[in-house]
């Protein structure tokens, strides 16, 4: 199963959210923090498996970046403006 984890802060700190499927809208995500608005809050990402496409806008719109397995301590280090991710799509995995 493909999996990635997003974090509110750089260096994998702050609130974390584990993702196993595509999510078209980060505004209404549930999980450990029910009702938490994750829209434009992601600053670091860990991709355990699969290839994920991260989008600047909801519904898989706007600027996007594909990330495969790895640890990305800062979204800016891979060309994603900090705190701009609004949706994610599983590309392969």
Average pLDDT over residues 19-40: 81
Task: Check whether 71 has a pLDDT greater than 70.
Answer: yes
Examine the pLDDT at 27 and tell me if it is beyond 90: no
Task: Work out how many domains the chain is built from and give that number.
Answer: 1
Q: Is the pLDDT of residue 89 over 80?
A: yes
Q: Which domain holds residue 38?
A: 3-92
Q: What is the pLDDT of residue 37?
A: 82
Output the pLDDT for position 32. Answer: 58
Between CA 80 and CA 56 the distance in angstroms is 8
Cβ–Cβ < 8 Å for 20, 3? yes
Q: Torsions phi, psi of 40, nearest 5?
A: 60, 40
Q: What pLDDT band is residue 28 in, cutting at 50, 70 and 90?
A: confident
Burial class (CB in 10 A: 0-12, 13-18, 19+), 75: buried
Q: Which CATH number fits the domain that encloses residue 63?
A: 2.60.20.10
Burial class of residue 60 (count of CB atoms within 10 Å of its CB; 0-12, 13-18, 19+)? middle
Q: What is the pTM of this model?
A: 0.92
Residue-wise pLDDT for 44-58, tens only, equals 999 999 999 999 999
């Amino acid at each position: 199963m493909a999996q990635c984890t997003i974090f509110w802060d750089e260096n994998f700190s702050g609130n974390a959210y584990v993702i196993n499927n595509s999510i078209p809208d980060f505004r209404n995500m549930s999980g450990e923090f029910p009702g938490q608005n994750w829209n434009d809050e992601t600053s670091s990402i860990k991709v355990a498996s699969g290839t994920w496409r991260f989008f600047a806008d909801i519904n898989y719109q706007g600027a996007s970046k594909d990330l495969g397995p790895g640890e990305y301590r800062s979204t800016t280090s891979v060309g994603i403006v900090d705190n701009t991710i609004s949706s994610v799509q599983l590309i392969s995995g």
